[in-house]
Amino acid sequence: MPTQKQPKQEQQEPEQEPGQERQKSPVRSVWTRPQGKREQPALSREQIVSQAVRLLDAEGIDALSMRKLGSRLGAGATSLYRHVANKDELIELAVDEIYGEIEVPDSGDPARWRDDVARCARSLRATMLRHPWIASVLGEMGMSYLGPNAMRMSETLLTVLTRAGFPAAEADPAGTTVVAYVTGTATSEAAWLTVLARSGQSEQEYVSGLWPAAEEAVRAYPHLRDGYAGQREKDPAKTREEGFEYGLARVLDGLATRVTG
For residues 236 and 171, membership in a common domain is answered with: yes
Tell me: the pLDDT tens digits for 12-48? 444 555 555 555 666 667 767 666 555 445 688 899 9
Assigned domain for 126 exists: yes
Q: Are residues 61 and 107 in the same domain?
A: no
Residue 143: give its domain's CATH number: 1.10.357.10
Residue 36 lies in a domain: no
CA dist., res. 97 & res. 141, Å (int):
14
CA angle 166–171–177, rounded 5-degree value: 115
Considering the domain architecture, whether residues 118 and 218 belong to the same structural domain is answered as yes
Residue of 59, 7, 58 lying closest to 28 (CA atoms): 7
Higher-scoring residue by pLDDT: 243, 79: 243
CB 102 within 8 A of CB 124: yes
Residue 6's pLDDT is what? 45
Q: Which amino acid would we find at residue 102?
A: I
Res. 80: pLDDT tops 60: yes
Distance of alpha carbon 21 from alpha carbon 48, whole angstroms: 40
Domain count, the chain: 2
The model's pLDDT over 143-181, given as tens digits with 9 standing for 90+, comes to: 667 889 999 999 999 999 999 999 989 999 999 999 999
Report pLDDT for 211.
87
Distance CA 95, CA 124 (A): 12
Domain with 225, as residue range(s), is 103-256
pLDDT of residue 5: 46
- What is the rounded distance in angstroms from the CA atom of residue 48 to the CA atom of residue 93? 10
Distance from C-alpha of 196 to C-alpha of 191, rounded to nearest angstrom: 9
pTM score, two decimals? 0.80
- What local confidence, expressed as pLDDT, does residue 54 receive? 95
Is 52 in the same domain as 145?
no
Tell me, yes or no, whether 227 and 171 share the same domain. yes
Section 116-138 average pLDDT: 93
Residue 8: pLDDT band by 50, 70, 90 thresholds?
A: very low
Across 195-219, average pLDDT: 90
108 and 235 both lie in a single domain: yes
Q: How many CB atoms lie within 10 A of CB 51?
A: 18
Alpha-carbon span 71 to 4, nearest angstrom: 32
Average the pLDDT over each of 5-14, 102-111, 117-126 and give the range with the smallest value: 5-14
**CATH number of residue 59's parent domain:** 1.10.10.60
Q: Is residue 9 part of a domain?
A: no
SS3 219: coil
Please tell me the predicted confidence (pLDDT) of residue 85.
Answer: 85
Please report whether residue 21 resides in a domain.
no
> In this predicted structure, what is the pLDDT of residue 238?
93
Tell me the mean pLDDT in the region 224-232.
86
Average pLDDT rounded to a whole number, residues 91-111: 94
Task: Decide if 73 is inside a domain.
Answer: yes
